[in-house]
Amino acid sequence: MGQLRRRLAFIAVAIVLILGGGTLGFIWIEHYPAFDAFYMTLTTVTTVGYGEIHPLGRAGRIFNSFLILFGVIVMLLAIGAMTQTVIELELNQYFGRRRVKGMIEKLEGHIILCGFGRVGRGAADELRQAGVPFVVVDNQEERVEMAIRRGMLAVLADASRDETLCDCGIMRAKGLIATLASDADNLFVILTAKTLNPKLQLSARVAEESSEQKMRRAGADFVFAPYNSTGHRMAQAIVKPHVQQFIEFTTRNMGLEVGIEQILVEPGSPFADKTLAEMQIRRETGVIVLAIRRAGGGMLFNPPAEAQIAAGDYLIAMGEPQSLRKLEQILTRVAA
């Protein structure tokens, strides 16, 4: 877009200069009225050839000869630049769409992020930080361009259309995040996505509390009300500042290299069916196990040392990034 603006600016300046110069020349040399001078210049550089408005003297014809030469050259250059720009834009869009389509077709277990507003941008930053592949879908060109400038895979389309979600690989996707402007749009996206891929994990944003239950009935696994959440956090920051600071540290890495992760105990792991005491997680990795999410759906908070983990369980653990990666390697290692 920057190159297009520069070309258009160059063409506009060139045309203004040739028209202005010709007009002033006819006024100065042949004493034409201003409008007649402009009209004579315009018919000359566009090669219309209506003839001389008023008879030209020798000096006027010499000037007009140079005006014809330079005017035609400028007009041809302007037409050529515009043609080149249009062709380049068409080719860039065509090959750009093909390139994006090819990249999307290679995605597996990715996230489809519908909407790139303030909430969507926050979700995109978190997904990129976590190293999760994702594709952004938005129907506003400036938002799609913003996502592309940030190095993200983005598509200009209507996220509520079946063909859009299919083109984004919804059958291969792991989840979908709906952050569109209205609750109605998000509800429609959730319904469409759940119909196309019932196994998809769905997360939606709502503006009105009354929409939360509707969104869950439509199939959303997680529903968030940003305004309510912000209000709660603002109040908590005043009432319980140290708790809020701890949450900020662990979820946003603000000055403390500590994070919270969920780590799956793979089937066949040598640590399946062992207790936390037998695994010695704290001693071996320096990681704190905050909770165990059972394969059956239950959640055990602050598990005791004798708590037994099983294949399919998730450990909700807190620690430094390298320690969390070490624990993940331990739990995902399959016995020979």
Q: Identify the structural domains of the chain with CATH numbers, from first to last.
A: 2-102 (1.10.287.70), 108-230 (3.40.50.720), 257-332 (3.30.70.1450)
pLDDT-wise least confident of 49-53, 106-110, 148-152, 317-321: 49-53
Using a cut of 0.85, tell me whether the model's pTM lies above it: no
Summarised one tens digit per residue, pLDDT across range 197-212 is 999 999 999 988 788 8
pLDDT-wise least confident of 111-115, 163-167, 233-237: 233-237
φ, ψ of residue 317 to 5 degrees: the values are -125, 150
Contact 173, 199 (CB under 8 A): no
Whether 256 has a pLDDT exceeding 60, the answer reads no
Whether 40 has a pLDDT exceeding 80, the answer reads yes
Q: Residue 95 is encoded by which pair of tokens?
A: 């090959």
Rounded to an integer, the average pLDDT of 131-135 is 90
Q: Residue 20 is encoded by which pair of tokens?
A: 């202005």
pLDDT of residue 336: 43
Rounded to an integer, the average pLDDT of 232-244 is 77
Strands, E assignment, the chain: 111-114, 134-138, 154-156, 175-178, 201-205, 222-224, 259-264, 288-293, 299-301, 314-319
Summarised one tens digit per residue, pLDDT across range 136-190 is 999 998 998 899 888 888 888 898 889 999 989 999 999 999 999 889 999 999 9
Summarised one tens digit per residue, pLDDT across range 272-322 is 888 888 888 888 888 888 899 988 888 888 888 888 888 888 888 888 888
pLDDT band, residue 333 (cuts 50/70/90): low
